[in-house]
Structure 1
Amino acid sequence: MNFQPAAISGDRVSRAWSGDMIAPLSDRGQGTAASFVSKTFDHEGAGLPIELFISALGLYRCFINGTRVGNDVLTPGWTNYDDRIAYQRYDISKLLKPGRNRIEIWLADGWYRSPIMWGAKAIPNCWGDRIGAIADLVGPSGPLLSTDTTWQSGPLPILKSGIYFGEIFDARLENAAETHGVERLPFDKGLLVAHETAAVRELQPLAPIDSWSDDEGRTIYDFGQNAGGYVRYRVRGAGGAEVRVEHAEVLGPDRHFDNRNYRAAAAHTLYTLRGDGDETYAPHFTFHGFRYARVTINGNAKIVEIASIPISSVPEPAGGFTSGNSLVNRLVQNTIWSQRANFVEVPTDCPQRDERLGWTGDAQVFAATACWLSDSQSFLSKYLRDVMADQREDGAVSHFSPDPTRLHPADFPGYAGSTGWGDAIVVIPWVLYTHYGNRAVLSECLDPMVRWVDFVWSISDGPIVRPPSHWGARGFTFGDWLQPVGDNRKPRPTIADDCAATIYHFISTDLLARIAAVLGEEALEEQMKRRAGEIRLAFANEFITPAGRLAHNDQTSYALAFLYDLIPAEHRQAAQQHFRKVIIDADYKIGTGFIGTPALLPALTKLGMDDLAEKVFLQEDVPGWLYQVSKGATTIWERWDSMAPDGTIYEPDMNSYNHYAYGAVCQWLFECVAGISPSPEAAGFAEVIVDPAPIPSLSPVSAYHDISQGRIEAGWHCTGSEITYVLTLPEGCVGRFRPGRRHQNPTLNGEPVFEDAVLPPGTHRLVFSLPDS
């Protein structure tokens, strides 16, 4: 009874439906009790294959003869529901019996009509105000049963549920009678598409590693890992007793339970017992971000067993990295857990507070890391369709997708058009192409890419982009979001909006020229090459001094400009020295935000400044990757300073402890430290660029990555200045090693290497010495 996701291609995958979209007349609207629709029917075809095709407005769970269909959660998923709605397909043959059968579909608000966005301005009924279900049971001879107006409905024991709210469940109200009928809703069945990615699934339960009681007698459980999911428990007690579960990511000083950073999200569950022995409960139509749970019991009841249940659309790892440094190893694990928690139908910023939105900037900077750590092809392809559905008429790309503000602009005007964020429409397809050889996604997104780069050019009618400073104005940019500035009495330099916007203007335009070349769009390729050349020249004239110093003299400017070859040859040596001095003056502490951070270490490695890359990466003070690990983080933080050295929570109004963006450093670990990269010239890992840049203090290093051809394994250890590097490539995958400055006297499989070497499938041993520093 497995869910079967649709194949990803440029075409929507749909089917002919016999059923209607029906709404339960027992439903009283958003924020009220959930409802079910049901039908009793006869079935005499024992042993015949029967499939269920099903979808909903809102979220659904389906039961046949009391047994749940499948084990997917949060179905049918989250899309721009006015553009398309996913449906699922299940083999239900073994759930049916000869004679009378009953199907029951539970329905709740979900993303469809839960209040979405934040605070008092959260939008209820964003995509619609009626929940409903559509279903076909299909056998060899055609439809066996379909949703129509003969179905019945009734209230569920779920008295209230919501994505941010949580869930209230009264077990005394289970097995409610069918008290109402249903109504056929006007509905365009053409919106229904086969689920475009894997279903959200539960991971292995996490048992608590500690528990204690607070001053009010409430029990706090520590599950040892911040995750996206929910708490499942077994409870025993008297009917009418209540169990309330609240959630938190961190503890304040003295192990004080603190979830102020959830803001307006109640993010709790309340369960009322039936009182007939052991009862097991977990919420049905919501999820939370948490490591800790606080349990309050009112009445005579006792928790018998409790666990954290993580959920994710990408539960299986596709890559791993370990080193001789335990903090680095934990950083990689933190990134994996942040990806799991935030890759729930949509790549969200965070899973806990009143937000949980698919921010395009976060997804753009993290996409390559996501593909290293999990098979993210169908997940990100599906997300790009949401991004395209939200694109504005003038080409502006939403700050997040699915975008509630597009349908309610009066409440949230101007939520589109930020450089670094909207560039997701160009960057993510390219990542999918290089990692998976997916040309279809390039074709599907080509026109939206062109519209985006044309929009950015139009902001200032030219190559230099001068964004307005006010949120909501056309072309407003987030710049290098959350860039640290150090001591507020003498802050370190930061990149300005015009510089950041112009750099990303170049990145997407240049990338679009490469994409056009892949697709054989010669006219577009030439147009974008010319435009990229104009931007490169204008950037140098506007932002580089005759002495080779960038205008804002900050880490982000240098990192991005060097990584994307925006520094003219005559200025490179001087600019590199300025870059070095900026890093040293900051005491090797990070000075980059969301768009600068993924570029920082790759740029230093590209320039051969491995000594600086090592010191920046491994320093354990704030701001730094390993600071948060040393503070006990088990996921990636939103801010470098999310927690003070004394354990104090910083600024709870915007402070998530499960934000994957800064985990983008893992791309550098795979591509530079482990030395394996997908070649754009032979996409999909048909060819691997082999270019290790060892950090000796990390020895020994081991990495793996699963691709369609098999598994790539790479690792090295350091003996003095000598590096022994071992690489294994699967059939259908070749490597290309080009000796560089850091590879002194290289030998490959015992033979000296003087020029580019092609490595066939199999295991290879590369030995070289590091240059003197």
Structure 2
Amino acid sequence: MNLQASIRALTPASRDWSAQMIAPLADEGQGQAASFLATDFVLQDVPADADLFISALGLYRCFINGQRVGNDLLTPGFTNYDKRLAYQTYNVAPILHPGKNRIEIWLADGWYRSQLMWGKNPIFNCWGDRIATIAEIVGLSGTLIATDANWSSGKLPVQKSGIYFGEIYDAREPALVPTSGSEVLAFDKELLLAQETTPVKEMAPLQPIDRWIDDEGRNVFDFGQNVAGYVRYTVRGETGAVVRTEYSEVLGPGRFFDNRNYRSAVSHNIYTLNGDGEETYAPHFTFHGFRYARLTTTGEAKILSVVSVPISSVPDIKGGFECANPQVNRLVQNTIWSQRGNFVEIPTDCPQRDERLGWTGDAQVFASTACWLADCRTFLRKYLRDVMADQRADGAISHVSPDPTRLHPEHFPGFAGSTGWGDAIVIIPWVLYTHYADKDALRECLEAMVRWVDFVWSISDGPIVRPPAKWGERGFTFGDWLQPTGDSVKPRPTISDDCAATLYHFISTDLLARIAGVVGEDGLKARMEGRADEIRKAFAFEFIAPSGRLAHNDQTSYALAFLHDLIPPQHVETARFHFRKIVVDADYKIGTGFIGTPALLPALTKLGMDDVAEKVFLQEDVPGWLYQVKQGATTIWERWDAMAPDGSIYQPDMNSYNHYSYGAVCQWLFESVAGIAPDPEQPGFARVLVAPAPIASLSPVSAFHDTGHGQIEAAWVVDNGRVTYRLSLPDGCTGLFRPTHRHIDPVLNGAAVTGEVPLASGAHVLTFNLPPASGG
């Protein structure tokens, strides 16, 4: 069975469709007015049960007898449309009635054919140039109505829409007037699959915290929180008056409305009033990334109310961390909001500019944190299927999935194969296994994992990966993307591409060996263990000096090498000394980028350098987590230096203020500071590894996480150097406490501890003294 057949066999099954995929003949193509398809049908009696099965090429909204079906957004979702197309199911019996009924399906460009990608070579009509729908209502007695060539079509009040563009809506013609018919398209119904994850939903609206009128008389609103979503407002005015909504994430000095970082994403909404009393509007087929909105009215119109409406596929919080430091608490909230805003159908890099793509590197570094903060099991499983559908013939994993460049490589050649990014196919399934005991995810992705690690080996035909420098060449790597260099006069050292690539070559190969053991593939396990050992030895020979110093002497090299046990025993003390020194010499400022940052604090904690980890985490200068918070950030930034101290934007051509990657530090807060981690030996939180590494200045600390067994709660307080740690484990969840050097004179539930101790479900109290100087 080939890979695509394997994916299809393991994804939610399709069904037998009597409906046909039909396109509106009223449609005039990409960038033009949206269209609808409609028909009437007669029912003698209302069925006791009736389900609507529906999907589309493009985006759809469905109405039956004037009532919207469901409240899901951006349906049918974002997939590799040439290989996978989701359909939704809704119970519609309550809105049917005896006699004549009417069904209308609104269609718009969406991801399917509006602009994707950036720069001088945007891609339009990526997956096709005809919007269309397939739908049928099925009752207990059979099909009641289905799409076919007899449906009529016409134009919608949506004059233009696009994911990056926004939406133009003219309310002066609210009635849907059929002007044309429909056409049956050739379509493979085997591509249809039941929706795999939770749909995008609106969250509770946010009221503005401030409002002012700028020098040109435009209303500017500050909603206090950067989100993915849109503005909804109510307006009263004359027929033909116009309201234009523009969006931005930040304000420049002098409250300058600055959205230059959106690049070619117009990202606006234009609404023309019909003049009939109060009118409420929000866009139907797009979303924006923003904290601020500027509303410009032309003609006689008065804005009566305005709210920000966040949207997300994962709106519900499943984990939390709080401490005595309000800046740290805000950092956690920023991470939650970045996850919400970027988990819209797929894990995107950002929700605002002409990108909003499923970057694999961002997803893999953040996956563990994502699962701490929300229930991401089905969301990430769906994304992994997109990743596998985009995998190249030679095993390379796309930089983004769904990948627009796979079908349009002329301007984006070789958009696949970067280490640190493609490793998502190995790392994310492992995260799903550890957090949810999802062994099926390992089995489903196993073949793709093998093809990926074999591809990485093939880049240089050996254990050391030597990537080409030119973007688009086979094996190009992003390395430690956006790794800071410090002072331009005397820059700090950074990791080389070959070292970064080889580190991840080892990480995925070693992890694949472990995965093979879990799923019972002993032959593969032995092969990958042998290969991982070869990479380990080659790494030591190539990148570790005889003295024990790493070749590039940078924070990322040491963090990743220590975290993944790539430092030979005889070099551990020397490498540890240099690791500490480079961090101290940098005044505890972060020297890591996308792949190094998630490893930095865990590596310092693993080595017992808690004092260094504390100073790195809590320092408030750039580059640093709390610098963002101090600057008023409400989500995580793409760049450490995204904003200058005076509030001005740095490099607006590549600068997002809602990029979750650096929020991966929250994994460390849960697993090290709060001391609770899933045990891969008993996954899905059947057993929790308990090993708190307190930072006294954060006391008191509390954390919780909702698991399949119930809620885990952990909290500690420091009093005169002695820690009191309280832990509550739900039924079905046990723990294992392993004392370390930082747990001096530990007493668990009233009894002295001399070694590791199993913990039953229920409440536990652990006390211990901290070392006089944490780390050293």
TM-score tier, shorter chain, comes to over 0.9
Check conservation: 2:723, 2:770, Cα contact below 8 A: yes
Check conservation: 1:726, 1:763, Cα contact below 8 A: yes
Corresponding letter in the other structure for 2:378? S
Aligned residue number for residue 249 of structure 2? 249
Once the two structures are TM-superposed, the CA of residue 176 in structure 1 deviates from its matched residue by 2.6
Q: Distance between the aligned counterparts of 1:580 and 1:441, measured in 2?
A: 38
Kindly provide the CA deviation profile for residues 643-671 of structure 1, in whole angstroms up to 9, marking residues without a partner as x: 00111100000000000000000000000
Q: Distance between the aligned counterparts of 1:624 and 1:179, measured in 2?
A: 59
Corresponding letter in the other structure for 2:674? A
Aligned residue number for residue 314 of structure 2? 314
**2:87 is equivalent to residue 81 of structure 1:** no
Aligned residue number for residue 232 of structure 1? 232
Q: Distance between the aligned counterparts of 1:142 and 1:436, measured in 2?
A: 38
Aligned residue number for residue 112 of structure 2? 112
Aligned residue number for residue 3 of structure 2? none
Q: Distance between the aligned counterparts of 1:47 and 1:53, measured in 2?
A: 16
Once the two structures are TM-superposed, the CA of residue 142 in structure 1 deviates from its matched residue by 1.1
44-53 or 715-724: which moved more?
A: 44-53
TM value normalised by structure 2? 0.98
SS in 1 for 2:480: coil
Check conservation: 1:10, 1:441, Cα contact below 8 A: no
Q: Distance between the aligned counterparts of 1:385 and 1:376, measured in 2?
A: 14
Measured on the aligned residues, the alpha-carbon RMSD in Å equals 1.0
Q: Distance between the aligned counterparts of 2:55 and 2:23, measured in 1?
A: 12
**2:15 is equivalent to residue 43 of structure 1:** no
Aligned residue number for residue 694 of structure 1? 694
SS in 1 for 2:228: strand
Q: Distance between the aligned counterparts of 2:383 and 2:652, measured in 1?
A: 29
Aligned residue number for residue 332 of structure 1? 332
**2:199 is equivalent to residue 202 of structure 1:** no
Q: Distance between the aligned counterparts of 2:225 and 2:538, measured in 1?
A: 48
Q: Distance between the aligned counterparts of 1:428 and 1:193, measured in 2?
A: 22
Corresponding letter in the other structure for 2:421? W
Once the two structures are TM-superposed, the CA of residue 20 in structure 1 deviates from its matched residue by 0.3
Aligned residue number for residue 755 of structure 1? 755
**Percent identity over the alignment?**
70
Check conservation: 2:11, 2:193, Cα contact below 8 A: no
Aligned residue number for residue 280 of structure 1? 280
SS in 2 for 1:77: coil
Aligned residue number for residue 5 of structure 1? none
Check conservation: 2:150, 2:182, Cα contact below 8 A: yes
Check conservation: 1:635, 1:657, Cα contact below 8 A: yes
Q: Distance between the aligned counterparts of 1:285 and 1:240, measured in 2?
A: 22
SS in 2 for 1:726: strand
Question: After superposition, where does 1:361-760 map in structure 2 within 5 Å?
Answer: 361-760=361-760
Q: Distance between the aligned counterparts of 1:524 and 1:483, measured in 2?
A: 35
Kindly provide the CA deviation profile for residues 646-698 of structure 1, in whole angstroms up to 9, marking residues without a partner as x: 11100000000000000000000000000000000001111100000000000
Corresponding letter in the other structure for 1:295? L
User: How many residue pairs are counted as aligned between the two chains?
Assistant: 767
Aligned residue number for residue 4 of structure 1? none
Check conservation: 1:494, 1:552, Cα contact below 8 A: yes
Question: After superposition, where does 1:158-307 map in structure 2 within 5 Å?
Answer: 158-307=158-307
SS in 1 for 2:387: helix
Q: Distance between the aligned counterparts of 2:426 and 2:183, measured in 1?
A: 43
Aligned residue number for residue 68 of structure 1? 68
Alignment gaps of 5+ in structure 1: 1-7
Aligned residue number for residue 3 of structure 1? none
**2:23 is equivalent to residue 15 of structure 1:** no
Check conservation: 1:79, 1:402, Cα contact below 8 A: yes
SS in 1 for 2:54: strand
Once the two structures are TM-superposed, the CA of residue 66 in structure 1 deviates from its matched residue by 0.6
Q: Distance between the aligned counterparts of 2:681 and 2:83, measured in 1?
A: 35
Check conservation: 2:47, 2:140, Cα contact below 8 A: no
Q: Distance between the aligned counterparts of 1:104 and 1:648, measured in 2?
A: 47
Once the two structures are TM-superposed, the CA of residue 47 in structure 1 deviates from its matched residue by 5.2
Kindly provide the CA deviation profile for residues 332-359 of structure 1, in whole angstroms up to 9, marking residues without a partner as x: 0000000000000010000000000000
TM value normalised by structure 1? 0.99
SS in 2 for 1:173: coil
Once the two structures are TM-superposed, the CA of residue 411 in structure 1 deviates from its matched residue by 1.9
SS in 1 for 2:196: coil
Q: Distance between the aligned counterparts of 1:226 and 1:682, measured in 2?
A: 38
Corresponding letter in the other structure for 1:407? L
Once the two structures are TM-superposed, the CA of residue 613 in structure 1 deviates from its matched residue by 0.2
Once the two structures are TM-superposed, the CA of residue 528 in structure 1 deviates from its matched residue by 0.2
Kindly provide the CA deviation profile for residues 265-314 of structure 1, in whole angstroms up to 9, marking residues without a partner as x: 00000000000000000000000000000000000001101100000000
Q: Distance between the aligned counterparts of 2:186 and 2:697, measured in 1?
A: 64
Q: Distance between the aligned counterparts of 1:538 and 1:111, measured in 2?
A: 44
Check conservation: 2:47, 2:139, Cα contact below 8 A: no
Once the two structures are TM-superposed, the CA of residue 12 in structure 1 deviates from its matched residue by 3.1
Once the two structures are TM-superposed, the CA of residue 771 in structure 1 deviates from its matched residue by 1.1
Check conservation: 1:21, 1:187, Cα contact below 8 A: yes
Alignment gaps of 5+ in structure 2: 1-7
Q: Distance between the aligned counterparts of 2:762 and 2:652, measured in 1?
A: 51
Once the two structures are TM-superposed, the CA of residue 45 in structure 1 deviates from its matched residue by 2.2
Q: Distance between the aligned counterparts of 1:465 and 1:12, measured in 2?
A: 37
Check conservation: 1:429, 1:445, Cα contact below 8 A: yes
Once the two structures are TM-superposed, the CA of residue 120 in structure 1 deviates from its matched residue by 2.8
SS in 2 for 1:680: coil
Corresponding letter in the other structure for 1:227? V
SS in 2 for 1:386: helix
SS in 2 for 1:763: strand
Q: Distance between the aligned counterparts of 2:577 and 2:555, measured in 1?
A: 12
Kindly provide the CA deviation profile for residues 207-228 of structure 1, in whole angstroms up to 9, marking residues without a partner as x: 1000101110001000000000
Check conservation: 1:61, 1:106, Cα contact below 8 A: yes
Q: Distance between the aligned counterparts of 2:274 and 2:209, measured in 1?
A: 29
Corresponding letter in the other structure for 1:370? A
Q: Distance between the aligned counterparts of 1:543 and 1:359, measured in 2?
A: 28
Check conservation: 1:672, 1:692, Cα contact below 8 A: yes
Corresponding letter in the other structure for 1:649? I
Kindly provide the CA deviation profile for residues 226-259 of structure 1, in whole angstroms up to 9, marking residues without a partner as x: 0000000000000100000000000000111000
Once the two structures are TM-superposed, the CA of residue 9 in structure 1 deviates from its matched residue by 9.2
Question: After superposition, where does 1:84-163 map in structure 2 within 5 Å?
Answer: 84-163=84-163
Kindly provide the CA deviation profile for residues 712-755 of structure 1, in whole angstroms up to 9, marking residues without a partner as x: 00010110210000000011100000111100111111111111
Kindly provide the CA deviation profile for residues 503-557 of structure 1, in whole angstroms up to 9, marking residues without a partner as x: 0000000000000000110000000000000000000000001111000000000
Once the two structures are TM-superposed, the CA of residue 412 in structure 1 deviates from its matched residue by 1.0
Aligned residue number for residue 26 of structure 2? 26
SS in 2 for 1:341: helix
Q: Distance between the aligned counterparts of 1:175 and 1:276, measured in 2?
A: 14
Q: Distance between the aligned counterparts of 1:722 and 1:655, measured in 2?
A: 44
